[in-house]
Amino acid sequence: MAGHSQPEPDSSHAAAAHAPAAHGAGHGGGHGHPPEPGFAGSPWLVLAAWILLAAGGGLLLKSFPDALPFAILLLPLLGFTVLAVFGDAIRDQGEGTGACWLACFTVLTSFALAVTAVYRVMQFPGGETGLRFTQPYLGYEWIEAGPFRVQMNLLIDNLSSVMILVVTGVGSLIHLYSVGYMSHDPERVRYFSYLNLFTFFMLLLVLGGNLPLMFVGWEGVGLCSYLLIGFWFTKKSASDAGKKAFIVNRIGDVGLILGMILAFYHFGTLDLVDLVGNATAGTEEGLWQFGPITTICLLLFVGACGKSAQIPLHVWLPDAMEGPTPVSALIHAATMVTAGVYMVARLAALYSLSPTAMTVVAVVGTATAVLGATIALVQTDIKKVLAYSTVSQLGYMFLACGVGAFGVGVFHLFTHAFFKALLFLGSGSVIHALGGEQDMRKMGGLWRRIPWTFGTFVIGTLAIAGIPPLAGFWSKDEILAGAYSAGWKSLFVMGVIVALLTAFYMTRALILTFFGSYRGDAETGSHIHESPWIMLGPLVILAIGSATVGFVKIPQFVEPALRVSEGAHAAPHGQWLPIFATAVAVTGMVLGYYLYLAFPEIPSRIYASARGVARVLENKYGFDAVYDRFASRVVVGGSEEVLWRGVDVRLIDGAVNGAASLTAAIARSVRTVQVGRVRGYALVILGGAVAVLSYLLWPR
Amino acid sequence: MSPTIVQHALLLSLALFAIGVVGVFLRRNVITVFMCVELMLNAVNLAFIALSRAWGNLDGQVLVFFVLTVAAAEAAVGLAIIISIHRHKDTLDVDAFNIMKW
């Protein structure tokens, strides 16, 4: 049921929620100008209906406070259902603006409710496992098969609190932004219905109280990712990218399913709280000792690799940039791709029992961070730079988890959601201004033309580069500190290198886009315009977030939910590290400034002298080529030659046709016996009689 | 009844049976074939009677009555078929009756 909660005046989060909520509501009323006949006649009617609904829902929630998580969860689903069922009718009546606002309202309301829920979680006495909603709302047995019992229960604790705030908060801003970004698209009702469906599944993923329920959300976001990457499916590259994302994710999901099965086999439960409870009672497995817990963790990590774009399953994420830019911001930067990190953090107690799995997570994360950061150096498409940056930052999060600083990983997830969504939306604003141009070589000098976009993009760049006191600095510093104090000196060094590269390639993207002189064609150049307020508003809010959320003590906040003592986090490290990290970031940015603004002829010279390295990076280390060859040779070739021509045609068809032709051949040769001449038959009878008699009478 | 006579009777029976078999296979006229079949039946009858006497058991003789009855019925049906075929084919050559095949 829809519900618009009254924000609690004594909660800082609730107060923060009020601003965007009011923001959306105010413009919901204002969407009458330009006047439109669409969406149930008058926009005021819509607003009135919504207020009624909100009041009714609020009253309901007041009497059934435990229904809160379900209200958070089901509101976007309600929006999706309405848009899916009435979408065509809405579109045919007007231009679908009402539908867009409806989608925004559901998520905004969900956000307001999420703030209320988080407020209640923070008030929860003890705070050990947080709120746990099971009975009586929807808390029935979902699956009941012998010992395998799965409840339809939701779990809100400190960890999922952070996640639902990100999903609904950043999600709301991106919904609002999309209203402007997609305003010219005739299919935007479909777009918003997918966006709402995605929000629902993402909330299900982070709120699900057991692995199967989480898995439903996991698959659902994968589906929505596929639908939204291929949103402009008439473009071949977009539909291909969608398929690629879907298929690569399925590979990871095999691991996830196997991990779940094994977890049930080993622990007898898939409920997250029980699972973690059992794990905390377990004993640690030795390094490189592949016991059940290590196997479970590694299999689940395969799923996380698929969803969170880690080596070797990272290849889908850069291609996913074929989707609309707000989708890249929401799904492929802020929320869905962090699902793997969320799952690993959620099962922190399990992972910390297996040094092997932790090592694998840390090493894979670091390798991915290096890979993403280096490839981002040579990308010319602004969204591709951000995509590889996302790959790299996700690697950073796994590095944090792998060295035992799970809370810090979630912290980086949190800050990254802000600044990466900001950067993506900023790039979307640039692309919007340039009428669809994404190649940074055809940009430049835009800062004067689109100052608001420029300003927010700078904040995002500084945040991701790790310049204090912006958000990225705090989380990145803590990750490096975690790696350092966990004794992973090599990973620490790699992390520092990645931090340097991050600052460098983001400065490069910033300079190529906004500084220097405009390099595109004059026709596009004459049409450059700042984006409308509905796009700039979310940018500004996210910029403020990127600047400030670093001060939120996320690691300390989520720690009770992780059920694992963060030794690495607590260990003291020298005061030099923040200064060192800042120095590294500044070095990267200054380097970027020198190479791309002060002496712009140097990069091409470096490029020419290091042709081999550049080619390796441009080929993205050959992952795509190898996979392509594997797919075309082994999979397609094997299917054609072995499975189709060999097994299917020869073996199966051969067996079926062979049985038939064998019968026919035998019949053909035997039927000559049947001549129809009576004496012939009689002769055979005689022969038979003689044979039988001689057998019977033969002296033995 | 001495064993020698039984032996003679059986030998006669065998001879009659063999003549019947040869007749069935070698003769083409369907009436002749039919008569040869009857001959074989009666050869068997003779063997029944002889062995019945030899072992002082009446079972064989009872069986002969059955065989005679069956032979009579067979003759009635068989001759009717022969007449019917003859009307269609206008011949009595068994080799002409070869349409019973696939």
Peptide bond into A312 cis (omega under 30): yes
Count CA atoms within 13 Å of residue B27 on its CB side.
16
- The single-letter DSSP state of residue A439 is B
Do the Cβ atoms of B102 and A679 come within 8 Å?
no
User: What residue of A is the nearest CA neighbor of B37?
Assistant: A682
pLDDT at residue B65 tops 80: yes
Do the Cβ atoms of A679 and B95 come within 8 Å?
yes
Closest to A326 measured CA to CA, from A435, A442, A180, A472: A180
pLDDT at residue A57 tops 90: no
Contacts of B99 in chain A (CB under 8 A): 676
Contacts of A668 in chain B (CB under 8 A): none
Q: Which residue would you say has higher pLDDT here, B79 or A602?
A: B79
Question: How far is residue A247 from each of residues A112, A250, A680, measured CA to CA in Å?
Answer: 35, 5, 69
pLDDT at residue B26 tops 50: yes
Q: How far apart are CA A484 and CA A492, in angstroms?
A: 6
Q: Where are the alpha helices (DSSP H) in A330-442?
A: 339-346, 348-351, 355-378, 382-402, 406-433
Residue A672: band (very low, low, confident or very high) from pLDDT cuts 50, 70, 90: confident
For A62-130, the three-class secondary structure string (H helix, E strand, C coil) is: HHCHHHHHHHHHHHHHHHHHHHHHHHHHHHHHCCCHHHHHHHHHHHHHHHHHHHHHHHHHHHCCCCCCC
Q: What is the pLDDT of residue A458?
A: 94
Contacts of A689 in chain B (CB under 8 A): none
Q: How far apart are CA A413 and CA A399, in angstroms?
A: 12
Q: What is the pLDDT of residue A38?
A: 44
Q: What is the pLDDT of residue A325?
A: 92
Lowest mean pLDDT among A128-142, A184-198, B72-86: A128-142
A141, A149 in Cβ contact below 8 A?
yes
Do the Cβ atoms of B95 and A675 come within 8 Å?
no
Tell whether the torsion through CA atoms of A439, A444, A447 and A449 is positive or negative.
Answer: negative
Packing angle between helix A382-402 and helix A489-514, nearest 10 degrees? 160
Cα separation of the two ends of chain A: 95
Once rounded to an integer, what is the mean pLDDT over residues A128-145? Answer: 60
pTM summary value: 0.76
The encoded tokens of residue B79 equal 């001759």
User: What residue of B is the nearest CA neighbor of A682?
Assistant: B25
Q: What is the pLDDT of residue A274?
A: 84
Q: How far apart are CA A524 and CA A520, in angstroms?
A: 7
Closest to A238 measured CA to CA, from A248, A254, A225: A225
Contacts of A676 in chain B (CB under 8 A): 98-101
Do the Cβ atoms of A671 and B102 come within 8 Å?
yes
Query: Best residue in B17, B34, B40, B100 to probe A by mutation, most A CBs within 10 Å?
Result: B100
Q: Which amino acid is at A635?
A: V
Lowest mean pLDDT among A318-322, A509-513, A613-617: A613-617
Average pLDDT in chain B: 89
Beta pairing class for A148-151 and A131-133: unpaired
pLDDT at residue A19 tops 60: no
Q: What is the pLDDT of residue A603?
A: 80
Count CA atoms within 13 Å of residue A334 on its CB side.
33
Residue A43: band (very low, low, confident or very high) from pLDDT cuts 50, 70, 90: low
Query: Best residue in B14, B17, B25, B28 to probe A by mutation, most A CBs within 10 Å?
Result: B25
Count CA atoms within 13 Å of residue A226 on its CB side.
15
Q: How far apart are CA A237 and CA A670, in angstroms?
A: 62
A158, A127 in Cβ contact below 8 A?
yes
Identity of the residue in A674, A676, A682 whose CB atom sits nearest the CB atom of B25: A682
Peptide bond into A469 cis (omega under 30): yes
pLDDT at residue A341 tops 90: yes
Residue A156 dihedral angles phi and psi, to the nearest 5°: -115, 110
Question: How far is residue A352 from each of residues A31, A130, A395, A486, measured CA to CA in Å?
Answer: 52, 21, 18, 13
A300, A254 in Cβ contact below 8 A?
no
Do the Cβ atoms of B25 and A675 come within 8 Å?
no
Distance of residue A698 Cα from the nearest chain B Cα, in angstroms? 18
Q: How far apart are CA A396 and CA A414, in angstroms?
A: 13
Chain B positions touching chain A (beta carbons under 8 Å): 21, 24-25, 94-95, 97-102
pLDDT at residue A67 tops 70: yes
* Each residue's pLDDT tens digit, A150-189: 888 888 888 888 899 999 999 999 999 998 888 888 888 8
The encoded tokens of residue A140 equal 């029935």
Contacts of B89 (CB under 8 A, 6+ apart): B96, B97
Q: How far apart are CA A394 and CA A179, in angstroms?
A: 28
Counting residues of chain A whose pLDDT is more than 70, the rounded percentage is 88
Once rounded to an integer, what is the mean pLDDT over residues A591-614? Answer: 82
Contacts of B100 in chain A (CB under 8 A): 676, 678
Q: Which amino acid is at A439?
A: D
Q: What is the pLDDT of residue A11?
A: 37
Counting residues of chain B whose pLDDT is more than 70, the rounded percentage is 95
Q: What is the pLDDT of residue A189?
A: 86
Q: How far apart are CA A486 and CA A488, in angstroms?
A: 6
Query: Best residue in A672, A674, A679, A685 to probe B by mutation, most B CBs within 10 Å?
Result: A679
Q: How far apart are CA A506 and CA A464, in angstroms?
A: 8
Question: How far is residue A75 from each of residues A18, A91, A107, A206, A292, measured CA to CA in Å?
Answer: 18, 21, 7, 15, 39
Contacts of B95 in chain A (CB under 8 A): 677, 679
Q: Which residue would you say has higher pLDDT here, A571 or A235?
A: A235
Closest to A303 measured CA to CA, from A162, A205, A404, A376: A205
N residues, chain B: 102
Contacts of B95 (CB under 8 A, 6+ apart): A677, A679, B28
Find tokens 């010319």 and name the residue: A380
Tell whether the torsion through CA atoms of A574, A575, A576 and A577 is positive or negative.
Answer: positive
Do the Cβ atoms of B95 and A674 come within 8 Å?
no
Find tokens 């947080």 and name the residue: A130
Do the Cβ atoms of B100 and A678 come within 8 Å?
yes
Do the Cβ atoms of A677 and B21 come within 8 Å?
no
Do the Cβ atoms of A671 and B99 come within 8 Å?
no
Q: What is the pLDDT of residue A577?
A: 84
Chain A positions touching chain B (beta carbons under 8 Å): 671, 674-679, 682-683, 686
Count CA atoms within 13 Å of residue A666 on its CB side.
5
Residue A345 dihedral angles phi and psi, to the nearest 5°: -65, -35
Query: Best residue in A668, A672, A677 to probe B by mutation, most B CBs within 10 Å?
Result: A677
Contacts of A352 (CB under 8 A, 6+ apart): A284, A358, A404, A564
What is the b/e burial string over A114-137, where b = at least 16 CB atoms within 10 angstroms of the residue's CB?
bbbbbbbbeebeebebbbbbbeeb
Identity of the residue in A671, A676, A683 whose CB atom sits nearest the CB atom of B98: A676
Helices (H) and strands (E) in chain B, counts: 3, 0
Find tokens 């705030």 and name the residue: A165
Three-state DSSP at A253 gives: helix
pLDDT at residue A29 tops 80: no
Peptide bond into A572 cis (omega under 30): no
Helices (H) and strands (E) in chain A, counts: 30, 4
User: What residue of B is the nearest CA neighbor of A679?
Assistant: B25
pLDDT at residue A20 tops 50: no
Identity of the residue in A677, A683, A686 whose CB atom sits nearest the CB atom of B98: A677
Contacts of B25 in chain A (CB under 8 A): 679, 682-683, 686
Q: What is the pLDDT of residue A13?
A: 39
Lowest mean pLDDT among A260-269, A281-290, A512-521, A584-593: A281-290
Once rounded to an integer, what is the mean pLDDT over residues A514-521? Answer: 85
Q: What is the pLDDT of residue A92?
A: 65
- CA A565 remoteness from chain centre: 27
Contacts of A677 in chain B (CB under 8 A): 94-95, 97-98
Q: How far apart are CA A288 and CA A609, in angstroms?
A: 43
Q: What is the ipTM of this complex?
A: 0.77
* Each residue's pLDDT tens digit, A224-271: 999 999 999 999 999 999 999 999 999 999 999 999 999 999 888 888
The encoded tokens of residue A402 equal 């792998």
Q: Provide DSSP, B32-67.
A: HHHHHHHHHHHHHHHHHHHHHHHHT-SHHHHHHHHH
Contacts of A539 (CB under 8 A, 6+ apart): A177, A422, A425, A426, A429, A452, A453, A456
Contacts of A575 (CB under 8 A, 6+ apart): none
Count of pairs with CB atoms under 8 A, one residue in A, one in B: 26
Identity of the residue in A677, A683, A686 whose CB atom sits nearest the CB atom of B95: A677
Do the Cβ atoms of A678 and B97 come within 8 Å?
yes
The encoded tokens of residue A72 equal 């958070």
Average pLDDT in chain A: 83
A116, A5 in Cβ contact below 8 A?
yes
Q: Which residue would you say has higher pLDDT here, A137 or A313?
A: A313
Contacts of B102 in chain A (CB under 8 A): 671, 674
Once rounded to an integer, what is the mean pLDDT over residues A78-102? Answer: 77
Query: Best residue in B30, B93, B101, B102 to probe A by mutation, most A CBs within 10 Å?
Result: B101
Identity of the residue in B25, B94, B102 whose CB atom sits nearest the CB atom of A674: B102
Query: Best residue in B24, B26, B32, B91 to probe A by mutation, most A CBs within 10 Å?
Result: B24
